[in-house]
Structure 1
Amino acid sequence: MNPGPPTRLGLITAGTLATVLLTACGGSDTSAEPTGETAEGYPVTVGTLFGDVEIEDRPENVVALGWSDAETALALGVQPVGVADWQGYGGTGVGPWASDLFDSEPEQLGTMEPNLEAIASLEPDVILDTRSDNSQERYELLSPVAPVVGPPPGVEVTYGTSWQQQTRQVAEVLGEQERGEELVTELEDRFAQLRADNPDFADLTIAVGAYFDGQYGAYVPGDTRVDVLAELGFEYEPELVEMADGAFYSDLSSELVEELDADLTVVFPIGGPEAVEFLNEDPVLQGIPSAQDGRLIVLDDPELVNAFSSGSTLGVNHALDGIVPLIQETLED
């Protein structure tokens, strides 16, 4: 696991890119006969942060590179041929709440440094990259291989595409708009019911943090973890937003860990059991007022942490099953 996607794309050499372009071009047969009429509803034009992208026909070979793009495609009934395994699941590259939706394991393609040659070898009809670092550099690296559907217009926080935006955008690409709206409505209705069932959540403040490799950090609005809790009715402590400077996450020095104090503080470790033990014993974290008052939750179940971090409709639903009871128990004490 990691705190979320890093915010910079590693460099890929010009020679590698040239090889990819030769592979992609050499693999096509320009003499092939037309396959017939396009599917109903195509072509479609999808708005992205980098301009409109036209999808000529219903995609058959889909590559899912953005954070939780693969889980979103699966929820819509489409199995990507290649995926980016952002949370280190292995196997199918998606969480256990989604892995059974694959008939066979897809190709693993890398995350911050996607394997362009492997992507091109899959001959994708489209590359989904709807939750990414928002960088022009990444878009320009991928776009010679296939049409790239990046984050929707207006997304300012890196990796800040909401689950609603991602579901609708991927559904538009795949020609599954009706199912996409069903998924959005079902999860929004669940949030509405949870808010109604837990009116005490309203007007309470939250802070969400992580501990990774000896460093604390805080998530800010635009990150799926904060947004999930906000949709339960909580309000975010605003002081950390400026520190994040347009990113989804801000590192915290030991002196700033107290910034995680709120009516409810949720922190999770990224690492093995020793990281959980550290958080439960760290005098800095345990000394903040919310911890002293019993309003600190240390998430210690890796599957729940991954679901909380997933940002897909499938993962968010799984996370709500576990995190809502924990919040209720903590606030009742």
Structure 2
Amino acid sequence: MKNKKLLLVFLLCGTLLIGLLSACGQNAESKRSADNDLGKSEEKEEKKTKTYEATNGTVEIPSNPERIIVIADSYVGYFLTLGIQPLGISDFSMNNRYFEGKLDGVESLGDSNNPSMEKMIDLNPDLIITFNDPKAVENLEKIAPTIAINYGEKSYKEQLREFGEITGRERSAEEWIEQWESKIAEWKPKIKEMVGDQTVSILSPFSKGIYAFGHSYGRGGEIIYGEFGLKAPDTVQEMAIDSGEGWADFSLETLPDIAGDIIFTCPWSGDEADPEQVYGSKLWKELPAVKQNKVIELDPSAAFFNDPTSLDQQLDFIIESLQNNM
């Protein structure tokens, strides 16, 4: 009888021990599961941001930013091409006719050199794009992650790819480049045949003389010289294109040397100079391009821009203008 009681006690203790071990195992498994879930959550959280090497250093930005303010006028159209409407842009960009119908609901932030900080704070952006001005960048970084860009360091195709990478829209960038290159391939031989050996110049009167633009400073130069490969006057080729600057300034007296057989022109939008000082001068009126009605007027509100959205419409304008003036 005594032995039976001892056996019963041993059996009860064994059962309790197994239960305790099982409970401990379940707790450990639950802890591991919780730890795994936490790890996955942290990993997911980490993937919401990424680091980007910008001109202003390493910047931690959202993986797929969508609430974007673009202070740098030149880059608004890149985001429109990628299917992203900026929250806010400068007054100058708002007036670009190539953006008509694409900016509904976009906030105007004032002058790009002195945008409204209060409006930007209210817009609560997750990314700001600006030109590389250290003092301005320092203030903007207090509002949101800020990427500063040196104008002209990259071609417009490279810049579009970069913005595609920043926003997670690489495919959209490549699609635009593919359709663009297809249009250029179609029209380049036609334009080259139409223009032949005639030279083309892009001129803008300003307060101290005349700007001549090359292949990388807007006004259609990316298309005229860069894509179509049309000839510039020798002086313009040397000073504005071969130099890599994209532009050069000249005195009025040099006008006959920088004027091509075909001239694209508009007043300079960066000062209050009277363009008639050039357009009304005897030197201008005596130019062969003027006498032969081969002067094509650019829209001063839009000529500055060389983003993909603007380039698409500039291409149509340049093709139509050359067809009508040959």
Counterpart contact for 1:73–1:79, Cα < 8 Å: yes
AA in 1 matched with 2:100:
S
Look up the match of 2:183. Answer: 190
Contact 2:59/2:147 (CA < 8 Å) preserved in 1? Answer: yes
> Distance between the aligned counterparts of 1:116 and 1:323, measured in 2?
38
Could you tell me which residue of structure 1 aligns to residue 73 of structure 2? 67
CA 1:235–1:139 in 2, change beyond 3 Å: closer, same or farther?
Answer: farther
Look up the SS of the partner of 1:128 in the other structure. strand
AA of the residue aligned to 1:316: L
Deviations 1:151-173 (A, max 9, x none): 3xxx6xx4565332332222222
1:178: Cα distance to partner?
0.5
CA distance in structure 2 between the aligned counterparts of 1:194 and 1:320, rounded to whole angstroms:
10
**For residues 40-60 of structure 1, what are the alpha-carbon distances to aligned partners after superposition, in whole Å with 9 as ceiling and x for unaligned?**
7x5444443344433233223
Say if 1:106 and 1:236 are closer, same or farther in 2 by CA, change over 3 A: same
Query: What are the within-5 Å matches in structure 2 for residues 125-274 of structure 1?
Result: 125-129=126-130, 132=131, 134-151=132-149, 158-159=151-152, 161-200=154-193, 201=195, 204-212=198-206, 215-225=209-219, 226-230=221-225, 231-237=227-233, 239-240=235-236, 242=239, 248-270=246-268
**Paired position in structure 2 for 1:114:** 115
| Structure 1 unmatched runs, 5+ | 1-33, 88-92
TM-superposed CA distance for 1:202, in Å, is 6.5
Match of 2:89 among 72, 83, 91: 83
Once the two structures are TM-superposed, the CA of residue 248 in structure 1 deviates from its matched residue by: 4.7
- Paired residue type of 1:49: T
Provide the C-alpha distance between the structure 1 equivalents of 2:240 and 2:223, rounded to a whole number of angstroms.
21
SS at match of 2:63: coil
In the alignment, which residue of structure 1 is the partner of 2:22? none
Partner of 1:58: 64
**Cα separation, partners in 2 of 1:267 and 1:102, compared to 1, 3 Å:** closer
Bigger Rg over Cα:
2
Deviation at 1:315, TM superposition (A): 1.5
Tell me the C-alpha RMSD between the 2 structures: 3.6
Cα drift, residue 324 of structure 1 = 1.4
What is the distance in 1 between the residues matched to 2:179 and 2:51? 26
Q: Distance in 1 between matches of 2:184 and 2:275?
A: 29
**Bigger mean CA deviation after superposition, 116-125 or 240-249:** 240-249
Distance in structure 2 (CA, Å) of the matches to 1:178 and 1:38: 24
Q: Which structure's residues are more often helix, by fraction? A: 2
From 309, 315, 319, give the equivalent of 1:324: 319
| Distance in 2 between residues matched to 1:116 and 1:136, nearest whole Å | 16
Match of 2:100 in 1: 99
* TM-score (norm: length of structure 2): 0.70
How far off is 1:228 after superposition?
1.9
Distance 2:192 2:120 in 1: 47
Gaps of 5+ in 2: 1-40
Q: Which moved more, 1:53-62 or 1:76-85?
A: 53-62
**TM-score normalized with structure 1 length:** 0.69
Contact 1:128 1:170 in 2 (8 A): no
The CA distance in 2 between the partners of 1:112 and 1:54, in whole Å, is 24
Structure 2: distance between partners of 1:209 and 1:227: 14
Paired residues, what number? 278
Contact 1:207 1:262 in 2 (8 A): yes
**2:129 partner letter:** L
Find the aligned partners of 2:308 and 2:259 in 1 and give their Cα distance: 29
User: Using a 3 Å threshold, how does the CA distance of structure 1 residues 38 and 256 change in structure 2: closer, same or farther?
Assistant: farther
Q: Give the % identical residues.
A: 20
1:5-84 maps to which residues of 2 (within 5 A)? 37=44, 43-84=49-90
3-state DSSP class of the match of 1:197? helix
Contact in 2 for aligned 1:38/1:58 (Cα 8 Å): no
1:111 alignment partner, SS class: coil
Q: Secondary structure at the match of 2:144?
A: coil
Residue identity opposite 1:107 in structure 2: S
Distance verdict in 2 for CA 1:205–1:146, change over 3 Å = farther
Q: Deviations over 1:290-327 (max 9, x none)?
A: 445x3742406x3xx54443212221111222221222
